[in-house]
């Protein structure tokens, strides 16, 4: 080639090449100008004089595979051209990162190892966009990540962002889960303690021939309750040494009077009296205020309490207030009412309710004028009386004053 | 599995770089619940932050303190009143004051935090050494806080006392007297009379390097009287 020909060849036509060795030991020849866009390669060329031949190729980091290198070089090739507008660069970058997440992660890693900051920023932003707005479960699914956080770490409240309704909901859920975990732990503890208590009881039984009720009750409540829950029988059969008279008096509830039969007759008499009182009281309005509560509500409450204490086995189930042992003499009044009498009573109740409803506006006027607290008896649809306190408020149902 | 969990190969510092790009604390919290490595990455991303703004977020004492604790390199802290109302109290400021970054903070904004008093502000400000910009507008601080600011912040350049109605001239005098680099002071909405501001100018004009201080004072007075 003559000097004239050499003079015609422009500097950009005389491309210099560098040799790069990727992670799979394959060696590629790349334009130096483009390769120098990566600070790591630039450093190797300038400081160590590497890459000039195939024998002394620049060894690229482990993260840079041939596929990733070609992607990175494409990026460098585009951005190295001087005359491009920002708009062009932006649109290229957007298209460039439209790849699947695995390749995007690989590209981020490769760009980072080559210290190519603009590309690291670009891919990181793309990854951030993928992650944003996702739950931990969704993120794990997308990136195939292991779930190595402990239950406690997972249920740690996300207190930083209580403004976000999703997180508030999540926190509530986490609180619930934490509670469940604690309950489970407590139940385990109860079972262990229950077994320990059972063992203790059997051991105690082997020492003494009789175990009194008080000895079982002396076991702390916390231990005793799970025993009842687990239906562990710990009491031995009692030998009662009391006389028949004492037992009769105990059954009748009288300390000294062992006349059990007489009391049962009295009960029947009381029932009849109460039936008569009930029917007559419905006829006479004036006596309504003096009438006592039927006992239905109380019985219902006690049975509810019994059921709750059985199922939930509350710590206060031993209290007198929740005791299921309370009996009511007049608990079964309605069972023995004659159907004809019952019909008559119901008719009278309906009639009375109708009368009340008809002059309701006038009564309301009276109520509003005299704004005092009064005890009133309200009628419900089942003709069944309840006592309420009137507290200066308008009630949208008939009230007898 | 190696090929699948490609993101797992990313070093923690690169994960942290990704998390720094998150604009939402919600996303940060969600990311920290993915795995242990990500949790660490979130902490590291907070440590990289130079600015931390809770504007528009419903923050309480606990969460704010925890985030500030992790942000070792913080230079700018912004805890303004959000639309959710004031959640930060003196207890929160006290906890924040023990964070490592406090001595390096150059800018603090506690704008509109009606739940804080002198007690919290004094605790926080007394531990700062590099503070240049302070915004305590809309709070109920008194001269007690201003005296501590004057003592603890020799590099203070700007202070916003907008609508701090319990501030008096004695507090302002202390600031002007001890914060020699003070350039601007916003006392709009305070109950400080105009004569007091003139007195501040006169007080400053008697100092040694008149020109600089006077220039500073005129700018300050202009901002105040505007």
For residue B126, give the CATH number of its domain: 3.80.10.10
Does residue B4 sit in the same domain as residue B20? yes
Tokens 């981020």 appear where? Answer: A108
What CATH number should be reported for the domain holding residue B31?
A: 1.20.1280
Q: Indicate whether B98 belongs to any domain.
A: yes
Per DSSP, A318 falls in state: T
Give residue A81's pLDDT. 81
- Determine, for residues B30 and A159 on separate chains, whether the beta-carbon distance falls below 8 Å: no
Alpha-helix residue ranges (DSSP H) falling in A230-359: 244-252, 260-283, 296-311, 339-358
CB contact (8 A) between residue A124 and residue B21: yes
All structural domains of chain A, each given as residue ranges with its CATH number in brackets, are 3-149 (3.30.710.10), 185-395 (no CATH)
Residues of B in contact with A161 (CB under 8 A): 24-26, 29, 57-58, 63
CA dist A92 and A78 (Å) reads 8
Rounded mean pLDDT of chain A?
Answer: 63
- Is residue A153 within 8 angstroms of chain B, CB to CB? yes
Higher-pLDDT residue of B164 and A354 is B164
pLDDT at B27 over 50: yes
| Number of structural domains found in chain B | 2
Nearest to B124 by CA among B89, B165, B93, B156: B93
**Between A377 and A153, residue with greater pLDDT:** A153
pLDDT tens for A200-240 read 676 666 665 544 444 444 444 444 444 444 444 444 444 55
Tens digit of pLDDT for each residue in A339-362? 777 666 776 666 666 555 555 555
**Looking at the complex, does the CB of residue A131 fall below 8 Å from at least one CB of chain B?**
yes
Average of per-residue pLDDT across B33-55? 88
pLDDT digits (tens, 9 = 90+) for B62-82: 888 978 978 988 998 989 877
- Whether B221 is covered by a domain: the verdict is no
Alpha helices in chain B (DSSP H): 12-20, 25-31, 36-48, 61-70, 90-97, 118-125, 143-152, 169-178, 194-205, 210-225
Shortest CA gap A370–chain B (Å): 45
Q: At what angle do helices A86-96 and A66-80 cross, to 10 degrees?
A: 170
CB contacts < 8 Å between A and B, how many? 113
The arithmetic mean of pLDDT across residues A98-108, rounded, is 87
**Cβ–Cβ of A134/B17 closer than 8 Å?**
no
Q: Does A165 touch chain B (CB under 8 A)?
A: no
pLDDT of residue A164: 54
Q: Quick check: B136 and B110 in contact, CB under 8 A? A: yes
Q: Are residues B64 and B28 in the same domain?
A: no
- Whether B18 sits inside 8 A of A127 (CB atoms) is yes
Nearest to B197 by CA among B165, B221, B168, B219: B221
Q: Are residues B41 and B58 in the same domain?
A: no
Whether residue B226 lies inside any domain: the answer is: no
Report if residue B219 sits inside a domain: no
Q: What strand order describes the sheet that includes B133-135? A: B51-53, B76-78, B107-109, B133-135, B158-160, B184-186
Contact of A124 with chain B, judged by CB distance below 8 Å, is answered with: yes
Whether residue A7 is predicted with pLDDT greater than 80 in this model: the reply is no
Boundaries of domain holding B2: 1-47
pLDDT at B110 over 90: yes
pLDDT beyond 70 at A294? no
User: In degrees rounded to 5, what are phi and psi of residue A260?
Assistant: -70, -40
Percent residues over pLDDT 90 in chain A: 8
CB-CB contact of A260 with A252 (8 Å): yes
Q: What is the DSSP letter of B135?
A: E
């Amino acid at each position: 080639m003559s000097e004239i020909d050499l003079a015609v060849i422009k500097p950009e036509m005389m491309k210099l090449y560098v040799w790069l060795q990727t992670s799979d030991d394959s060696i590629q020849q790349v334009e130096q100008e483009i390769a120098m866009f990566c600070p790591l390669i630039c450093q190797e060329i300038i400081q160590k004089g590497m890459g000039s031949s195939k024998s002394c190729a620049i060894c690229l980091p482990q993260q840079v595979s041939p596929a990733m290198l070609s992607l990175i070089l494409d990026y460098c090739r585009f951005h190295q051209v001087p005359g491009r507008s920002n708009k062009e660069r932006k649109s290229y970058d957007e298209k460039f990162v439209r790849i699947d997440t695995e390749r995007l992660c690989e590209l981020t890693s490769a760009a980072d190892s080559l210290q190519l900051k603009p590309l690291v920023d670009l891919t990181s932003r793309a990854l951030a966009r993928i992650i944003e707005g996702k739950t931990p479960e969704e993120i794990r699914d997308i990136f195939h990540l292991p779930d190595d956080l402990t239950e406690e770490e997972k249920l740690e409240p996300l207190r930083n962002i209580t403004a976000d309704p999703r997180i508030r909901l999540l926190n509530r859920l986490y609180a619930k889960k934490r509670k469940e975990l604690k309950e489970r732990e407590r139940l385990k503890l109860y079972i262990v303690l229950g077994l320990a208590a059972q063992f203790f009881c059997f051991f105690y039984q082997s020492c003494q021939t009789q175990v009194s009720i008080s000895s079982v009750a002396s076991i702390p409540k916390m231990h005793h309750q799970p025993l009842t829950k687990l239906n562990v029988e710990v009491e031995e059969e009692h030998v009662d040494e009391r006389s028949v008279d004492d037992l009769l008096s105990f059954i009748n509830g009288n300390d000294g009077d062992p006349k059990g039969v007489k009391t049962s007759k009295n009960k029947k008499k009381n029932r009849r009296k109460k039936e008569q009182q009930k029917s007559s009281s419905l006829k006479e309005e004036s006596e309504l205020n003096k009438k006592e509560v039927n006992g239905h509500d109380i019985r219902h409450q006690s049975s509810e309490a019994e059921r709750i204490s059985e199922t939930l086995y509350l710590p206060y189930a031993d209290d007198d207030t929740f005791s299921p042992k309370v009996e009511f003499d007049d608990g079964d009044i309605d069972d023995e009412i004659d159907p004809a009498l019952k019909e008559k009573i119901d008719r009278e109740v309906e009639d009375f309710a109708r009368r009340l409803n008809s002059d309701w506006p006038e009564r309301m006027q009276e109520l509003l004028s005299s704004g005092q607290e009064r005890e009133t008896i309200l009628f419900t649809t089942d003709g069944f009386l309840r006592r309420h306190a009137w507290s200066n408020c308008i009630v949208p149902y008939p009230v007898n004053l | 599995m190696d090929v699948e969990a490609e993101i797992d190969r990313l070093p923690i510092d690169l994960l942290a770089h990704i998390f720094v790009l998150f604009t939402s604390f919600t996303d940060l919290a969600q990311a920290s619940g993915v795995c242990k490595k990500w949790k660490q990455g979130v902490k590291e991303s907070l440590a990289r932050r130079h600015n931390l703004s809770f504007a528009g977020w419903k923050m309480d004492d606990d969460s704010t303190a925890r985030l500030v604790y992790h942000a070792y390199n913080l230079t700018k802290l912004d805890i303004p009143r959000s639309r959710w109302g004031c959640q930060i109290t003196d207890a929160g400021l006290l906890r924040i004051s023990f964070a490592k970054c406090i001595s390096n903070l150059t800018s603090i904004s506690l704008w509109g935090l009606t739940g804080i008093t002198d007690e919290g502000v004094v605790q926080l400000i007394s531990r700062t050494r590099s503070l240049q910009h302070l915004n305590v507008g809309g709070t109920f601080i008194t001269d007690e806080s201003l005296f501590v600011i004057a003592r603890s912040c020799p590099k203070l350049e700007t202070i916003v006392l907008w609508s701090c109605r319990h501030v008096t001239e004695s507090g302002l005098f202390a600031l002007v007297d001890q914060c020699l680099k003070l350039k601007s002071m916003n006392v709009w909405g305070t109950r400080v009379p105009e004569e007091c501001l003139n007195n501040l100018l006169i007080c400053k004009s008697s100092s040694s390097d008149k020109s600089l201080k006077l220039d500073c004072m005129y700018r300050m007075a202009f901002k105040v009287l505007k």
